[in-house]
Amino acid sequence: MVSRDFHPVSSVVDVAGVKFGDGHLPVIIAGPCSIETSEQMFAAAAEVKAGGGQMLRGGAFKPRTGPHSFQGLGVEGLKYLQQAGRSQGLPVVTEVMRIEQLDTVCQYADMLQIGARNMQNFDLLKEVGKTRHPVLLKRGMSATIEEFLAAAEYILAEGNPNIVLCERGIRTFEKETRNTLDLSVVPLVREMSHLPIIVDPSHATGKRMLVPVMSKAALVAGAHGVMMEVHPNPAMALCDGAQSLSGADFAALMQEINQLLDFL
């Protein structure tokens, strides 16, 4: 069902009026890694809106590598995210980690994110597939393209066609970057599948300095959008500060992106 052979026409996924897919401008999703406070989320939402972003991101349930790192604010965070998004008219996306959280996350989020670590949590994929909520499915850090598309198939097979794929870097031997951004997946997936695909250069690189150039490269490669981490005060971020742009960095990058889009 994910294949173009089955469904030749490119799909467009509508998230509360924001459209991902062919025939639409690339969607820019921005916001902090984690929801930290109400003030932080309102400030982030204002920066995303001012820069020209179309959606707000923020994690309330965080899949941290170690148990002693900040795990997210949970439901309280979902409320801040929804309120901040509404204050600027930005639909919101946030990660759901477990089936037990799904109903609650659906109440507050316009789009459900399945994180890289859960790309092959087949029970979660099936439950998300039973909803009709738009889904942002991130590529597992060691997943092949075949496995990535098979994960999307789990959601589609349950009846939910509203899937946007997200390349977020894969594990390689390279240590200078957090992951290795596999941009070739964008044209390949566009040929193999009808589903839209976006790129997350923040988690792919782990380095703020690389986010602008990799964002633009993703758009040149044909991505239907970019998701990047933006924090009102990256130095104080509870999570992923080193890869987060400030509001000013984001505004500058958006100017470059808009110039680039005139050529594409």
Which residue, judged by CB position, is nearest to Mn ion in the bound state? 33
Three-class secondary structure of residue 209 per DSSP: helix
Q: How far apart are the first and last CA of the chain?
A: 29
Contact partners, residue 212, CB within 8 Å, separation at least 6? 249, 252, 253, 256
Q: Does 138 bind ligand PEP (CB under 6 A)?
A: yes
Minimum CB distance to ligand PEP smaller for 170 or for 219: 170
Q: Are residues 172 and 204 in contact, defined by beta-carbon separation less than 8 angstroms?
A: no
125 binds ligand PEP (CB under 6 A): no
Shortest Å distance, C-beta 227 to ligand PEP:
7
Cβ distance to ligand PEP smaller for residue 35 or 262: 35
**Is residue 231 within the footprint of ligand PEP (CB under 6 A)?**
no
Residues 58-97 that bind ligand PEP (CB under 6 A): 59, 63, 95
* Residues 55/127/107/239 CA torsion (nearest 10 deg): -50
Q: Which residues contact 6 (CB under 8 A, 6 or more apart)?
A: none
With CB under 5 to 8 Å by kind, the binding choice for 224 among ligand PEP, Mn ion, none is none
Phi then psi for 226, rounded to 5 degrees?
Answer: -135, 140
Q: Is 55 in the site for ligand PEP (CB under 6 A)?
A: no
Contacts made by residues 45-48, CB under 8 angstroms, sequence distance 24+:
45/84, 45/85, 45/87, 45/88, 45/90, 46/87, 46/88, 46/247, 47/230, 47/232, 47/247, 47/250, 47/251, 48/88, 48/90, 48/230, 48/250
Q: Between residues 127 and 229, which has the closer beta carbon with respect to Mn ion?
A: 229
Q: Which does 168 bind (CB under 5 to 8 A by kind): Mn ion, ligand PEP, none?
A: ligand PEP
* Number of C-beta neighbours around residue 172 at 10 A: 12
Which residue shows structure tokens 């690339």?
Answer: 26
Contact pattern for ligand PEP over residues 150 through 189, marking x by CB under 6 A: ------------------x---------------------
Q: Shortest CA distance to 181 belongs to which of 158, 207, 159?
A: 207
Stretches 15-23, 114-122, 126-134, 242-250: which one binds ligand PEP (CB under 6 A)?
A: 114-122
Could you say which of 2, 15, 33, 135 contacts ligand PEP (CB under 6 A)? 33
Q: Smaller CB distance to Mn ion: residue 33 or 45? A: 33
Binding at 63: pick from Mn ion, ligand PEP, none (beta carbon under 5-8 Å per type): ligand PEP
Where along the sequence are the contacts to ligand PEP (CB under 6 A)? 33, 59, 63, 95, 115-117, 138, 168, 203
Where along the sequence are the contacts to Mn ion (CB under 5 A)? 33, 240
